[in-house]
Chains A and B, each alone.
Chain A
Amino acid sequence: MNWTANDLHIILVGTLCALACALPGTFLLLRRMSMMGDAISHAVLPGLAIAFLISGSRASWWMFFGAAIAGVLTALFTQWITRFGKVERGAAMGIVFTTLFAIGLILIKQSADHVDLDPACVLYGALEYTPLDLVTLFETAEHLIQVPRAALVIAATLLFNILIIALFFKEFTLASFDPSLAKTQGFRPMLMHYLLMTMVAVTTVASFEAVGSIIVIAMLIVPPATAFLLTRRLPILIATSLIVAVLSALLGHLSSQALPHLLGLPETTSSGMMATATGVLFLLAWVFGPEGLMRQNSGELKKPEHLIDLDEPKALEKH
């Protein structure tokens, strides 16, 4: 393949997006609510449509706020329906996000069909076109550093996510592990919940225009899930899930360019292959990981650490 600045730009945007998603994704996984990412990324559509109807423009800030509010409302409605409707949370999530997504579709079809607000673009993104919209970072006589506009937006989101998680690491961990202890200690677990939901919503909105919501959902869920197969130490888990995220973006783009040629097919979309790559990495971790299939079927039994030694009766007294 011919390596160009375009490839670098696509990988840059993909990587930033994967990193930005993997951070809140880790805590979604730990709270056993990974599908909230799926729900929120769909439910932002009516937020986008309404923001467009009110502002009459596709200016990023309006769309951004509209979508972020819709995202947080999804979390709020889900909470209410679970609490007052005697409905299990997964079902409540399904009710909320399909309804909101459908409202979004109808709004767009009815009143905004003539403009370039394409529902398909929300799902699949336009990663290949991000290099067309470049921003100059700095310019000297011999150097010209330009990055895609999307990269700046997503980098800002990544920074926001890093900041929030670094600041509230202790509180997020506590509220995820034991909300009742968090509450009795005065740490407001519901506040942490909505902060996490806001992070997911903001990340989704910032990413979807460039990479589409499929890859956002994949990157929210799969890198943390892969890391969970490899380690049970929280800091290492987060680091591993970030590495998996970067690898997915890199391998995804490379294989989207190289793989189809090997099979004699035309090039495929990068974002699709990035989502596929993260799935493949998960599969590898599942098969070859420390608790993976290979290990489970190897037939070897590890000797327990605290096995009582029958030849030495004194060993009993130690316990």
Chain B
Amino acid sequence: MRPEHPPEFPLAVHDLTVAYHRKPVLWDVDLNIPDGSLAGIVGPNGAGKSTLLKACLDLIPATSGEALIYGKPYAEQRDLIAYVPQRESVDWDFPVSAQDVVAMGTYRKLGWFKRIGTTQKKQALAALEQVGIGHLANRQISQLSGGQQQRVFLARALVQDAQIYFMDEPFAAVDAATEQAIIELLQSLNARGKTVLCVHHDLATVSRYFDHLVLLNMRVVASGPTPETFTRENLQKTYGGKLNLLDDVAQALKNVGRP
């Protein structure tokens, strides 16, 4: 065991480098996410935020380095993690209902060959009710709005009953009501001791949503408790001198410290 990544961390990333077609996307990322935190990963477009999540889940190969889940490789800890990919990553025209999609979260516990039964269907329905769209359970997924689709994905993560939740931009292009519902859900997971790791875009809400923050731009610029990490200096390092973004930063900084 590496001394700098003790096993009490739900996610410890060690010297991770990832490249697409020999172009590095993540460079020597080293990271510890504390247990029970609601952590945000923030950085400009192309900073490698989604790539970081995917590499930790072995969805894309790492050039070097490793990610440890409570001190062990991911392959041994699959049951502990629920992953919510970006909404556009799947085909919403696929002929399944909202309940079918949520039930997919139970497949791992079912194992190969076994079909879902009443128990799994009930679990799926309960999760849909928890995210506020129980009445849409039988609807074909293309007939759901963007916010409702995101809630379906969230419900699917809930039935996985994990310890760590990896979320790739759950707030992207959803309505205000859905955003509110999602953050409340994440906070209630967090209150039950779960660790939530969220790729996030909106600097204005960072300090309200997350207690731990990772600023990423190919490498980790800063990582730590949000109040100490979310500073003008760190943001400037992360986003560089992009003017339009600095306006966002100024706006975001005004919100620092607000409840």
Contacts and interface: CB of A to CB of B under 8 A. Distances in A.
B185 interface: no
A30 interface: yes
A233 B58 CA distance: 32
Interface string A177-190: 11011011111000
A228 B94 CA distance: 10
A219 to B, nearest CB: 20
14 contacts: A30-B91, A170-B110, A171-B112, A174-B107, A177-B91, A177-B104, A178-B90, A180-B59, A180-B89, A184-B81, A185-B78, A187-B107, A231-B95, A232-B95
Contacts of A237: 95
Interface of A: 30, 32, 86, 167-171, 173-174, 176-178, 180-181, 183-187, 228, 231-234, 237
B116 A170 contact: yes
Interface in B24-67: 54, 57-59
Contacts of A174: 104, 107
B142 interface: yes
A120 to B, nearest CB: 38
B165 interface: no
Contacts of A186: 78, 108
A8 B93 CA distance: 39
B96 A183 contact: no
A173 B59 contact: no
A237 B94 CA distance: 11
Nearest to A234: B95
B225 interface: no
Interface of B: 21, 54, 57-59, 78, 81, 83, 85, 89-91, 93-97, 100-101, 104, 107-108, 110, 112-116, 140, 142, 156
Contacts, number: 71
Nearest to B104: A174
B107 A232 contact: no
Contacts of A30: 91, 94-95
B108 A232 contact: no
Contacts of A173: 96, 100, 104
A16 B162 CA distance: 46
Contacts of A178: 85, 89-90, 104
B119 to A, nearest CB: 15
Contacts of B93: 232
Contacts of B112: 171, 187
B78 A170 contact: no
A180 B95 contact: no
A80 to B, nearest CB: 14
Given A184-B83, A237-B95, A167 B113 contact: yes
Contacts of B57: 180, 183-184
Nearest to B166: A184
A317 to B, nearest CB: 14
Given A86-B21, A169-B115, A181 B95 contact: no
**The 8 nearest A-B residue pairs measured at CB:** A185-B108, A232-B140, A232-B95, A234-B95, A177-B94, A178-B90, A184-B83, A237-B95
Contacts of A187: 107-108, 112
A169 B113 CA distance: 8
A170 B89 contact: no
The winner among A167, A174, A178 for most chain B CB atoms within 10 A is: A178
B91 A180 contact: no
Contact of B58 (A183, A228, A231): A183
B47 to A, nearest CB: 20
Contacts of A169: 115
B247 to A, nearest CB: 35
B83 A180 contact: yes
A86 B91 CA distance: 23
Nearest to A32: B91
A233 B141 CA distance: 10
Given A177-B101, A183-B59, A185-B78, A170 B107 contact: yes
